[in-house]
Amino acid sequence: MYQQLNNLSDKELISRARKLKDREAEGVLLERYSHLMVAVCLPYLKKDAGAGTQTVFPQLLQRLSNGLKVQSIQKANEWVHQTIKTYFTNPDKQVPYYPSRESKDRLQTENRVEKAATNTIERQQLITHVHQALSKLGTDDRYIMEQFYLEHKTFADLAAQKGTTVEKIRQQLKKAKSRLATQLTN
């Protein structure tokens, strides 16, 4: 049964944990994000030497288990991250998880892209939308996006062309992608 549950998506595991009250599905989901839990907790545990891992992790797991049953979860990794941060900043409060506007917009765009993969009409609409968003970008942003994604040039090629470092090209591309994403969500 564990192997079958391990092959399910996060949404399916969340659904099983809620509707069927399947504790094993809940365990598989929390195990999937256990590394994230530890990574987010370490800086807080380092700051507060008095916080014992013997009490922190059981309390966190209980809080995550309770939240799993009642909270609206779009992306499990963001939910786990936010729940842990809230635990350390407000340990006495059970603050519900609300996904950020950016993550909701990103999820909506990801779903739209996923839908376009199987639907030609959606694909054409998405292509048109991307072209419009690209046209609204600055010339430098549009150039670097076209060169990297359409012409398949490497960071090194682009850096040599512009006479700059690879790291600056990487940062410029990252900013251009962010601006494009903003255009797509607006």
Q: What is the pLDDT of residues 122-178, one digit of tens each?
A: 888 888 888 888 888 899 999 998 898 888 999 999 999 999 999 999 999 988 888
Mean pLDDT, residues 72-79: 84
The parent domain of residue 49 ranges over 2-99
pLDDT bracket for residue 88 (50, 70, 90): confident
**So what's the pLDDT on residue 95?**
60
Same domain membership, residue 62 and residue 122: no
Compute the average pLDDT of residues 102-111: 70
The residue among 54, 81, 99 that closes a domain is: 99
Q: What is the rounded CA–CA span in Å between residue 176 and residue 145?
A: 7
Q: Check residue 91 and report its DSSP letter.
A: T
The CA-based dihedral angle spanning residues 30, 75, 38, 90, taken in that order and rounded to the nearest 10 degrees: -100
The domain boundary, picked from 84, 99, 114, lies at 99
Determine phi and psi for 123, rounding to 5 degrees.
-60, -45
Band the pLDDT of 54: cuts 50, 70, 90. Answer: confident
